[in-house]
Structure 1
């Protein structure tokens, strides 16, 4: 046997040993996480049974926060889904915090150096030890490259991906058990919802994918001639799956009206730019930004609107977006058959939907539907109890016909709610659904490569 063969075999054996050790470590961590979850739930449940009888939604929210990243994200999903959950839970989970104690800077240094393969001071001119933000998945630090460019470094927290995998496998198994014990729930496809959420959250842990999202969004802006908006440009040489270095923006959040007026005398025009950019991305870009909360939309010093944090994006089939808009329009006009057709178009089902039967079931709500216009459905925080209940009833009717609304349905509603809050803060006189400057429905007249819709 030659020397090279022996060396190659030794390397192969070493690689197998490392893989085996990694598997053992991950299995051990997974088992520990399951025990930890059961322990937290057990303690919280026991406390509640022994007399600590705070309101159940608040108790559940506090339990989710104790369990960390996965459950905090699930809590935020509940908070942004008034069509799927009772009002008291939606309201309580609005308080679900995604802020965690900052990691020590030595961990940030060690992670960046391990990922990029060089000492920190050879990679960056300067890195601020104090984080700009610290959340459940990552921590962000300001920095400067050797060429003088201002950047931010997004560093993933230790073990986050393994925790997500373990938590979601546990939740999926629990959901399947519940579905087997209560067959009536299987039509709501609880386990399917969990699978979709898992896919979205695991994507957030891949910073190379986020970098590709940033590049794709900037290409979309360039191809559509949009010079009024921008996303940070990633620095490929300083980016891996767990470290993302990108251009730093200087500006103010869109919701800070007093500070915003120092940058522009037309806050409404700035908001319209953001709205039209986002609506255009639904049809022209491969994805839409699925987390346009106050920290992720900025007015930059040069007057452009900055879209940041592309870890969470949504992808929607053109026919599903058609269906959602048709759904709102049908509710506004009281056209029940059109509403049934739109629900079947938006929803996901392996069954053939009997649209006539669906329309008959919806007609039972017709009196309530005629009292609610399309815009009310995306302003549930203004029209609280009645609108939330109406949306819940519509979803349940759809589920009764084998329709499961996709994750994107909730994501889109969530972004509408965010934009509604921007409108309230910046331009309360603006009506997203009637102002001619807002291109909400115009892009639906002709989709790229499709026949006319009307």
Structure 2
């Protein structure tokens, strides 16, 4: 049985490489016939045609301005992870294979029309036989095998590329692909996402926080490729008019969400790294709902204090301190002139406060503005020989999301200068962190 399964996977891998080659050949022929859009756009469009792995790769490019050229980072902001939904019969097969029993033994009802469909999974509303209202995140068939085949193909292609053109190896391409593979394998491990959710809820309990919640996971209806979670009812954080039905003070609701997230940086092993408006909900009971923990970041302990100092320096406008923190957070092999770096940062900082609030309601524009600021900071760092770890870029992007939400929900509030925000850790916080860590483990 294992021999046949291995042979089957190998055969699927060969077919997948053939499909990839066909798409690349079609793109090449189109180019030769004169259809020549800008290279970044051509690459992005090709990635979207190639499917799951390449869409995720494009999103990785978009969120890693320290690793890729700015024209590609900008273009891949448009890389869409919305795919046509699979017929429900395929989803049923995955659920029953994973849970090892018929669907009606676990779920009383299930809506065959998905709530959402992306490259890796699609989501369906359902009711458990015990009566709970849930959503089921179901991995699409063969996704992991496709990811591994594609990533191995990309890895060996980059190794060959590095050998053929060693002079242009500004960074190890194969090392970047290895990092991408690690991130993607986490996304297809629903046990890992369930653990991320569990840790976040345990953190809320340990810190006595009744203002926020993450969905409960139902282990009896979950597996490596199926994740069944409590269904939340509410509206996105930026739906200002509807929020008022559930929260008397939208500004205070936002502050609660921000304080919860900043506290999680101190007390959780990982932080939620995808805080666009769709993943922050105001529930019908007024609480903040954090959903979709598939993408998380991790700040290493040795860079945490420097990260806090960097954020604090933004609030105080201390550019020397900001420059010193950047040097400690980033990776550099040369001596950095912090005075010159501070001057460059001051120029960026002045532009940082000029934001159109309506951009928050326009997702594409909002992401572009956030990304542009990220690129400017990264460019200044690189000018001085500093390259940031991806986790820092993820963390800072979430802070910029919050800055945009403030413009909509609390326009009189300043992100880094408001007594209601508890953003920065003190010695007392670090002592509490040790206590909470013991409770969580």
Counterpart among 317, 324, 336 of residue 358 in structure 1: 336
Instruction: Answer yes or no: is the 8 Å Cα contact 1:343–1:398 preserved in 2.
Output: no
Instruction: Answer yes or no: is the 8 Å Cα contact 2:267–2:433 preserved in 1.
Output: no
Instruction: Answer yes or no: is the 8 Å Cα contact 1:128–1:141 preserved in 2.
Output: yes
1:324 is paired with a residue whose SS is helix
Seen in structure 2, the aligned counterparts of structure 1 residues 430 and 188 have a Cα distance that, compared at 3 Å, is: farther
Seen in structure 2, the aligned counterparts of structure 1 residues 131 and 383 have a Cα distance that, compared at 3 Å, is: closer
Seen in structure 2, the aligned counterparts of structure 1 residues 73 and 342 have a Cα distance that, compared at 3 Å, is: same
2:55 is paired with a residue whose SS is helix
Counterpart among 64, 70, 87 of residue 104 in structure 1: 87
Instruction: Answer yes or no: is the 8 Å Cα contact 1:376–1:387 preserved in 2.
Output: no
Q: Distance in 2 between matches of 1:215 and 1:347?
A: 31
How big is the shift at 1:61?
A: 1.7
Instruction: Answer yes or no: is the 8 Å Cα contact 1:58–1:92 preserved in 2.
Output: yes
Across the aligned residues of Structure 1 and Structure 2, the Cα RMSD in angstroms comes to: 2.9
Instruction: Answer yes or no: is the 8 Å Cα contact 1:124–1:146 preserved in 2.
Output: yes
How big is the shift at 1:74?
A: 2.1
Q: Distance in 2 between matches of 1:120 and 1:378?
A: 53
How big is the shift at 1:254?
A: 0.8
Q: Does 1:241 align with 2:224?
A: yes
Could you tell me which residue of structure 2 aligns to residue 74 of structure 1? Answer: 57
Q: Distance in 2 between matches of 1:42 and 1:86?
A: 25
Q: Does 1:412 align with 2:388?
A: no
Could you tell me which residue of structure 1 aligns to residue 344 of structure 2? Answer: 368
Q: Distance in 2 between matches of 1:386 and 1:412?
A: 14
How big is the shift at 1:234?
A: 0.7
2:124 is paired with a residue whose SS is strand
How big is the shift at 1:381?
A: 4.7
Cα deviation 1:206-260 (Å, max 9, x = unaligned): 1122112211111000001111000111111111111111111111111222222
2:43 is paired with a residue whose SS is helix
Q: Distance in 1 between matches of 2:139 and 2:83?
A: 13
Could you tell me which residue of structure 1 aligns to residue 361 of structure 2? Answer: none
Cα deviation 1:427-448 (Å, max 9, x = unaligned): 2333211122122224577524
Aligned pairs (5 A) from 1:198-347: 198-327=181-310, 332-335=317-320, 341-347=324-330
Q: TM-score, normalised to structure 1's length?
A: 0.84
How big is the shift at 1:311?
A: 1.6
Instruction: Answer yes or no: is the 8 Å Cα contact 1:329–1:374 preserved in 2.
Output: no
How big is the shift at 1:101?
A: 0.7
- Pick which of 271-280 and 168-177 moved more: 168-177
Q: TM-score, normalised to structure 2's length?
A: 0.86
Q: Distance in 1 between matches of 2:204 and 2:350?
A: 29
Seen in structure 2, the aligned counterparts of structure 1 residues 200 and 384 have a Cα distance that, compared at 3 Å, is: closer
Q: Does 1:118 align with 2:96?
A: no
Q: Distance in 2 between matches of 1:385 and 1:149?
A: 43
How big is the shift at 1:124?
A: 1.1
Q: Distance in 1 between matches of 2:401 and 2:48?
A: 22
Counterpart among 142, 160, 164 of residue 147 in structure 2: 164
